[in-house]
Amino acid sequence: MLLVDLDPVRRDQLAAALRSAGYQVVTAGSGPQAADALGVPGLGAVVLDLNLPDLDLAALRKAISPASDAAPDALEAAERRHIAAMLRYTRGNKRRAAQLLGIARSTLLAKVRKYALEPAGSEVGA
């Protein structure tokens, strides 16, 4: 989640609250910092102060909206990204990730191997 706010106290308090709720939070204090942070992989939400003086809403909308003429992702690419995001969300807990995905743990392990999502040197049975 990207959190953008000029007020550092309010930004830090909200970021702490979101982190305690289990979210991964990237913070930015200005429009240009937010634009740079949009490149963070796995970004799923943006929380921002719409009154930022240097916020270019048109550029922000273009950055977070998929191009209308771009070909859609292949199903396997979307599945790989979703599984990787779920593993990040569960901090590598495959049992919990499988539960949240609604699949058997053995199916998740097979997909982790198929998509090479296992970090080097770690055990598959985690």
Cα–Cα distance measured from residue 97 to residue 76, given in angstroms and rounded to the nearest whole number: 18
At 54 the pLDDT is 67
User: What proportion of the chain, given as a percentage, has pLDDT over 70?
Assistant: 70
Angle between helices 94-101 and 105-114 (to 10 degrees): 100
The first and second tokens of residue 45, run together, are 């939400």
- The model's pLDDT over 13-54, given as tens digits with 9 standing for 90+, comes to 888 988 888 888 888 887 777 777 776 666 677 776 666 666
The top-scoring range by mean pLDDT among 16-25, 63-72, 80-89 is 80-89
> What CA–CA distances, in Å, run from 95 to 35, 84, 109, 125?
35, 14, 10, 10
> Is the per-residue pLDDT at 87 higher than 80?
yes
The pLDDT confidence band at residue 125, using thresholds 50, 70 and 90, is very low
What is the architecture, at CATH level 2, of domain 75-114?
Answer: Orthogonal Bundle (1.10)
> Is the per-residue pLDDT at 123 higher than 60?
no
The pLDDT confidence band at residue 124, using thresholds 50, 70 and 90, is very low
Cα–Cα distance measured from residue 77 to residue 75, given in angstroms and rounded to the nearest whole number: 5
Cα–Cα distance measured from residue 17 to residue 83, given in angstroms and rounded to the nearest whole number: 25
Mean pLDDT (whole number) for 105-120? 88
